[in-house]
Amino acid sequence: MNVLVVGSGGREHALCWGIAASPLLEKLYCAPGNGGIAADAECVSLDTANNDAVVRWCRTNKIELVVVGPEVPLVAGLVDALRDAGIPAFGPTAKAAILEGSKAFMKDLCAKYDIPTAAYGRFRDASAAKDYVRKAGTRVVVKADGLAAGKGVRMCETAAEAEAAIDAMLAGEFGAAGTEIVVEEYLTGEEVSYFALVHGEQVLPFGSAQDHKRVGDGDTGPNTGGMGAYSPAPALTPALEAQVLETIIRPTAKAMVREGRPFTGVLFAGLMLTATGPKLLEYNVRFGDPECQVLVPRLKSDLLTVLMAAQQGILNKVDMRWYTDTALCIVMAAKGYPGAYAKSSPIGGLEAAAKLPGVTVFHAGTTKDGATIRANGGRVLGVTALGKDAREAQARAYAAVDAIQWPEGFCRRDIGWRAVLA
Ligand code: AMP
Ligand code: GLY
């Protein structure tokens, strides 16, 4: 069959790499793709923000499954447009993608269906929000309701910080995404990510991961899209995983059906393991980046078959198999990221790195310039390794990083420290 993957990051490279290995595949395309994806798929320059253009292109190229990587086209209804045109697509409709598109919607759903999450209020008015902070009398987190490219969350240590965040967001710091805000209880505990394929009320667990959001070693410095990840997350014991499925994931799938917003695709729960049990921090309606780069290499079953089963609603028929290995991904980014950075420096040693045991190098912001791979973004590579445990995966991944010659790039040297200690 012919498949189109939408997106251009490391997540989409991992999806293309997995799908490319499927015996069901005839031809794989990726729009727009990147310099590394070009090895697994034909990259096509297609305006993926234009739903009609994507539909037309899929018709011309006889696409039988579209896999949408990022949240923006999902929230903008790309899956709806494809389905209306009779083109199967993996991912939620806009009505279901609201789980990520509106934090206020997600919080109200949790309240209505008794899904454990931080106590919260939703506000359009600054004085009401500040009242809430005063009455709460504890640390709070202030969040823009809508999509803000991962930047719309402020962890506030003091009431003064909370008031400043409330004023800034309601004054338009994040544009329309911050017309409404959520103010919520500041939870403490260990954070883990959990993934499940969902079709209506059908739920198929897809594993756990932990990522490193801060740019610097020791989890310091500004937040980024993610500087590394590993899977599975040792903190999520089988008992906790069962609790997450029964108290959070399954009730959400059921609630979305009841609300007339049945979910299809991958549900990515950001969780806090608190002293009183796992609580939902946020939902994403797509795979994580770089979490996808550590989930896909652990999957023994055929990825394309599994994604199709989610799209078709036959998740109960899937024979899910996983390698018992740990996967660990180190993100190499351009110096300066998450601030300003230069583009187009050449990257060497990629082939030598990829030959090391257990290693796969996923590309994010790269372009192919003849035989040369050049940096073309902030997060540039996801150097991933499988190992029998976190320690081995970490050693293999850093050996691969050290085989790559890219003086204009950097990475953290402590990815996976928690898992190695576990
Ligand atoms: P979100 O986009 O809502 O997941 O928030 C981004 C990050 O902020 C999360 O991954 C957490 O590290 C942190 N965070 C969000 N909400 C809370 C909360 N209620 N308590 C503590 N940390 C939070
Ligand atoms: N790594 C976090 C995310 O993809 O949202």
Map out the domains of the chain as residue ranges.
2-91, 125-179, 190-317, 326-421
Tell me, in angstroms, the distance from the centre of ligand 2 to residue 287's CA: 8
Tell me, in angstroms, the distance from the centre of ligand 2 to residue 409's CA: 21
Q: Which residues of the chain have pLDDT under 50?
A: none
Ligand 2 pocket member 284 (CB < 6 A): yes
CATH class of 2-91: alpha beta
Tell me what pLDDT residue 223 has: 87
Report which bound ligand comes closest to the CA of 364. 2
The protein residue with its alpha carbon nearest to ligand 1, atom 4, reads 282
Tell me, letter by letter, the H, E, C secondary structure of 341-409.
CCCCCEEECHHHHHCCCCEEEEECCEEEECCEEEECCCEEEEEEEEECCHHHHHHHHHHHHHHCECCCE
Tell me what pLDDT residue 193 has: 98
Q: Which atom of ligand 2 is nearest to the CA of 150?
A: 5
Ligand 2 pocket member 226 (CB < 6 A): yes
Tell me what pLDDT residue 198 has: 98
Q: DSSP code of 322? A: B
Tokens of 35: 């310099």
Architecture per CATH, 125-179:
2-Layer Sandwich (3.30)
Q: Which atom of ligand 1 is nearest to the CA of 188?
A: 21
Tell me what pLDDT residue 422 has: 79
Tell me, in angstroms, the distance from the centre of ligand 1 to residue 153's CA: 7
Which residues sit with their C-beta closer than 6 Å to ligand 1?
Answer: 118, 141, 143, 153, 155, 184-187, 191, 270, 281-282
The protein residue with its alpha carbon nearest to ligand 2, atom 3, reads 288
Report which bound ligand comes closest to the CA of 382. 2
CB 128 within 8 A of CB 194: no
Tell me what pLDDT residue 176 has: 85
Report which bound ligand comes closest to the CA of 155. 1
Report which bound ligand comes closest to the CA of 136. 1
The protein residue with its alpha carbon nearest to ligand 1, atom 15, reads 281
Tell me, in angstroms, the distance from the centre of ligand 1 to residue 282's CA: 7
Burial category of 300 from C-beta neighbours within 10 Å (exposed 0-12, middle 13-18, buried 19 and up) = exposed
Ligand 1 pocket, mutate which of 155, 169, 210 (most atoms under 8 A from CB)? 155
pTM: predicted TM-score of the whole model, two decimal places: 0.95
Q: Which atom of ligand 2 is nearest to the CA of 225?
A: 1
The protein residue with its alpha carbon nearest to ligand 2, atom 2, reads 288
Tell me, in angstroms, the distance from the centre of ligand 1 to residue 210's CA: 13
pLDDT digits (tens, 9 = 90+) for 364-385: 999 999 999 999 999 999 999 9
Tell me what pLDDT residue 121 has: 95
Ligand 2 pocket member 288 (CB < 6 A): yes
Tell me, in angstroms, the distance from the centre of ligand 1 to residue 339's CA: 21
What does the alpha-carbon distance between residue 378 and residue 179 come to, in Å, rounded to a whole number?
29
What does the alpha-carbon distance between residue 196 and residue 208 come to, in Å, rounded to a whole number?
9
The protein residue with its alpha carbon nearest to ligand 1, atom 7, reads 153
Q: Which of 299, 365, 354 is nearest to 331 (CA)?
A: 365
Report which bound ligand comes closest to the CA of 195. 2
Tell me, in angstroms, the distance from the centre of ligand 1 to residue 181's CA: 14
CATH superfamily to which 326-421 belongs: Phosphoribosylglycinamide synthetase, C-terminal domain (3.90.600.10)
Report which bound ligand comes closest to the CA of 293. 2
Q: Which atom of ligand 2 is nearest to the CA of 11?
A: 4
Q: Residue 361 — φ and ψ, nearest 5°?
A: -105, 110
User: What topology does CATH give the domain 190-317?
Assistant: D-amino Acid Aminotransferase; Chain A, domain 1 (3.30.470)
Tell me what pLDDT residue 147 has: 87
pLDDT digits (tens, 9 = 90+) for 147-172: 888 788 999 999 999 999 999 999 88
Tell me, in angstroms, the distance from the centre of ligand 2 to residue 280's CA: 15
Residue 124 CB contacts under 8 Å (≥ 6 apart), including other chains: 170, 179, 180, 181
Q: Which of 213, 211, 209 is nearest to 236 (CA)?
A: 209
CB 334 within 8 A of CB 377: yes
The protein residue with its alpha carbon nearest to ligand 2, atom 4, reads 288
Q: Do domains 125-179 and 326-421 have the same CATH topology?
A: no
The protein residue with its alpha carbon nearest to ligand 1, atom 10, reads 270
pLDDT digits (tens, 9 = 90+) for 234-245: 999 999 999 999
The protein residue with its alpha carbon nearest to ligand 2, atom 5, reads 288
CA distances to 198, 199, 205, 286 from 267, rounded to whole Å, are 7, 10, 10, 6
